[in-house]
Amino acid sequence: MFMKEFGADLDHKNTGYLIVHSLNPFGFKNYRRATEYNVNLNRNFSVSSDLYRTSNAAYSKLRGSLEPRGQVTDPVAHLISIAVQLGSKILFGQTSLDEFEESIGQGQYESPRGLEYGGARAEPQVSDFLGHLKEISAPYVDVVLMDIHTGLGESHALHLMPGDAKGSVDPVLFSMLFNLKEDKKIYKYTPNDTDGFYHTHGDLNNVMPELLSNHQRSVALTLEFGTIGGGMWAKLQTLNRIILENQGFHFGYVNRSIEAKVRKDFADLFFPTEILWRQNAINKAREVMARTLARMKQLDEG
């Protein structure tokens, strides 16, 4: 859509664009969010090795529940089968669903077979990509990154999530390109301190300041298209599906029927088959890009 509808009309004297389809072809082929080494590249971006020594005490505490061993025998994980609803909360013993969600979502670097594993070092495709991105962006004063994701947030909603590292979002440039009041029907502005969202380690947005020079301005954002929703039941389903998919990848399934069910449910978390969802994602992406490019043009002319 972007190439067909916008690419040909850009003023290439002032504006360049780089489209990166996938750094994880293994994941595309096998419907996994992780690489063949179980690394989630969205937790692997860094120019420093310090990231890979990050501790996640909450995940370590819950690891036994999050990483069951043995073949998957049922489409409902054991952890989910013991869930108890208490008012507006779901509890697993003394641990709440929100605690599980946040401990997983931020990423972890200690359990190679675990959920949201960020790796022990920069993966080759990440190092290669960051080097090219630094080189390609060098001639430009303003660099806008739109990292397109699916999964988190309200179903059918587009969430605009800014990077939170210092320098990842220049406030002046952001205000020129995004108008939260005018655009409110297109997306929801959700920084990571918004309820239901959280800080993550090793994402692309937050590494941008380290790639750019002092004279360059960055606006690094995630465009997150919500799939099954952010309510309590949706969160429970999400936790169930990611636990089972990871278990099945490492230990297999008791039969093909269980495998097909788990794999389909997992794929639907990030790539729903619903035609209306897919068309809605295209329509909202189109609106965001049209408005942003129009404002870029005004910025150039000004």
- In single-letter form, the type of residue at position 150 comes to T
Supply the pLDDT for residue 196: 63
Residue type, 158: L
Check pLDDT > 80 for residue 155.
Answer: yes
pLDDT category at 300 given cuts 50, 70, 90 is: confident
Judged against a pLDDT cut of 80, whether residue 195 lies above it is answered with no
More confident residue, 120 or 86: 120
Query: What is the tens place of the pLDDT at every residue in 90-127?
Result: 989 889 998 888 899 899 999 999 999 999 999 999 99
Place of tokens 């090795």: 49
Q: Tell me what pLDDT residue 225 has.
A: 97
Q: Is residue 237 pLDDT above 70, yes or no?
A: yes
- 217-226 and 158-162 as β-strands: parallel, antiparallel, unpaired? antiparallel
For the chain, the structural domain boundaries read 2-301
**Which runs of consecutive H residues, i.e. helices, occur in 69-170?**
78-81, 97-105, 124-137
How much is the pLDDT for 128? 96
Closest CA to 52 of 102, 112, 104: 112
The residue among 300, 239, 226 whose CA lies nearest residue 270 is 226
Distances (CA, A) of 280 to 164, 229, 287: 27, 15, 11
Mean pLDDT (the chain, rounded): 93
Instruction: Residue count of the chain, please give it.
Output: 302
pLDDT at 88: 79
Tokens of 177: 């390109």
| pLDDT band at residue 7 using 50, 70 and 90 as cut-offs | confident
- Give me the mean pLDDT over the 224-243 stretch: 93
Tens of pLDDT along 12-54?
Answer: 888 899 999 889 999 999 999 999 999 999 999 999 999 999 9
